[in-house]
């Protein structure tokens, strides 16, 4: 990246020039702030909109997450200590109506999304709950 030096501070029209890598990374910002109804929608549908531009591709989100989980089984089970059976059950549940026990849950699902799609994921806490940041581990 070229460096522009100016003897007396920054020039009036100073704009940072972004590299192509930075432009690609910045385009991956995703914000999901919709309230979800367990009978109609779930976080996997929101992720489908974010990554595939179609809420009906929520099963695809689960398939690629499940694939990542299987590929990195040792990491998630032995290093992170995740309950693999429960995560597999969540990702394998494909009914239109998402029962509460199969909802997307933090922190395991959030880390898995971050790793699968190579994006940072922020889970905002409500009330006194702490917000969490998950970065891709790849």
Q: Which DSSP category does 107 fall into? A: T
pTM for this entry: 0.69
Give the Å distances, CA to CA, from 129 to 103, 124, 136: 18, 8, 23
Domain ranges (residues) in the chain? 36-134
pLDDT (tens digit per residue) in 1-43: 454 444 444 445 545 555 555 555 545 555 554 454 554 457 8
**Chain segment 66-111, per-residue pLDDT in tens:** 999 999 999 999 999 999 999 999 999 888 776 778 888 778 899 9
Report d(CA 1, CA 108) in Å as an integer.
Answer: 37
Task: Name the architecture of domain 36-134.
Answer: Alpha-Beta Complex (3.90)
* Phi/psi at 129 (5° precision): -70, 145
């Amino acid at each position: 990246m070229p460096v522009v030096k100016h003897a007396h501070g920054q020039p009036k029209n100073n704009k940072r020039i972004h590299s192509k890598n930075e432009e690609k990374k910045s385009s991956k910002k995703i914000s999901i702030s919709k309230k979800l109804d367990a009978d109609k929608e779930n976080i996997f549908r929101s992720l489908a909109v974010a990554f595939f531009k179609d809420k009906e591709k929520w099963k695809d989100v689960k398939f690629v997450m499940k694939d990542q989980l299987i590929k990195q089984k040792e990491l998630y089970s032995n290093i992170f200590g995740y309950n693999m059976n429960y995560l597999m059950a969540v990702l394998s549940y494909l009914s239109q109506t998402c029962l509460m026990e199969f909802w997307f849950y933090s922190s395991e699902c959030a880390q898995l999304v971050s790793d699968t799609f190579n994006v940072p994921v922020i889970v905002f806490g409500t009330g006194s709950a702490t917000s969490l940041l998950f970065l891709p581990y790849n």
